[in-house]
């Protein structure tokens, strides 16, 4: 099992993503993922990543300020040009970081209609065509309504249906077990069922989104073993908020029988 640090959640000891590359390296990580580094130039982020000598696995689509609820317009009719501009900007950052996966966030919608689903799928079709030429994989992720009310995509069945219709290796499912538990539960069977469509996995304890071994609903020692036995051998993103010092909280990795 290979673990990559999510720099948008971990290492909150540093105030910015670019400072967190060095902390991730110091903690022993070989790879990272992150949200879009809003407010930092391509050169700043690339230099931070290169200085740390880390591999960048994934990056989120540019969406605006996520702390203000700006989580994309992929499903919003009339915002297609904005989506395309943000996608092209993100691709430039992904190429500079040598990241091969982009999380295409769906956005928030107050009252979803068939037009929103049509817009979402059309934008994904456009993205897949562009990403194919760049050898980058797009990811869509159902997000639970407790953590992000009104997020457009909160249904694994609909996500898989779209992936099946588009039928491209450049569009896969991002499975965050944190969200899976709160949307559907039945983790064992859902991992098995969703595995053919998965492009990336993330983890965090439920409900407080802390380290996997903290008190909560999920037995991550079992879940990780099940993932491995099911054939998943790609990176697992640690998208959690450390209770204390991030590096000190990594003892669960050795306790579960893994290493960085």
> Could you tell me the two tokens for 232?
């998943």
SS3 string of the chain?
CEEEEECCCCCCCCCCHHHHHHHHHHHCCCEEEECCCCCCCHHHHHHHHHHHCCEEEEEECCCCCHHHCCCCCCCCCCCHHHHHHHHHHHHHHHHHHCCCEEECCCCECCCCCHHHHHHHHHHHHHHHHHHHHHCCEEEECCCCCCCCCCECCCCHHHHHHHHHHHCCCCEEEEEEHHHHHHHCCCHHHHHHHHHHHEEEEEECCCCCCCCCCCCCCCCHHHHHHHHHHHCCCCEEEECCCCCCCCCHHHHHHHHCCCCC
Residues identified as active-site = 141, 239
Phi/psi at 8 (5° precision): -85, -15
Distance, CA of 229 to CA of 227 (rounded, Å): 6
Alpha carbons 64 and 149: distance in angstroms, whole number:
17
């Amino acid at each position: 099992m290979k673990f990559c640090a999510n720099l948008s959640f971990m290492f909150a000891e540093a105030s910015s993503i670019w400072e967190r590359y060095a902390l991730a390296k110091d903690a022993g990580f070989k790879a990272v993922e992150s949200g879009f580094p809003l407010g930092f130039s391509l050169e700043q982020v690339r230099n931070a990543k290169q200085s740390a000598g880390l591999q960048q696995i994934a990056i989120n689509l540019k969406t605006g300020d996520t702390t203000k609820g700006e989580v994309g317009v992929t499903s919003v009719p009339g915002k297609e040009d904005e989506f395309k501009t943000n996608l092209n900007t993100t691709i430039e950052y992904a190429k500079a970081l040598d990241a091969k996966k982009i999380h295409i966030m769906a956005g928030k919608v107050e009252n979803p209609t068939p037009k929103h689903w049509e817009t979402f799928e059309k934008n994904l079709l456009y993205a897949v065509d562009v990403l194919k030429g760049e050898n980058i994989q797009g990811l869509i992720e159902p997000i639970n309504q407790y953590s992000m009310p009104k997020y457009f995509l909160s249904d694994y069945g609909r996500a898989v249906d779209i992936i099946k219709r588009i039928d491209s290796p450049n569009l896969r499912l991002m499975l965050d077990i944190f969200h899976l538990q709160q949307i559907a539960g039945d983790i064992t069977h859902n991992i098995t069922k969703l595995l053919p469509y998965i492009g990336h996995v993330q983890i965090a304890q439920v409900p407080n989104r802390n380290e996997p071994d903290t008190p909560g609903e999920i037995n991550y020692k079992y879940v990780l073993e099940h993932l491995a036995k099911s054939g998943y051998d790609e990176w697992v993103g640690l998208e959690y908020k450390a209770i204390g010092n991030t590096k000190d909280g990594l003892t669960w990795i050795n306790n579960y029988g893994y290493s960085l």
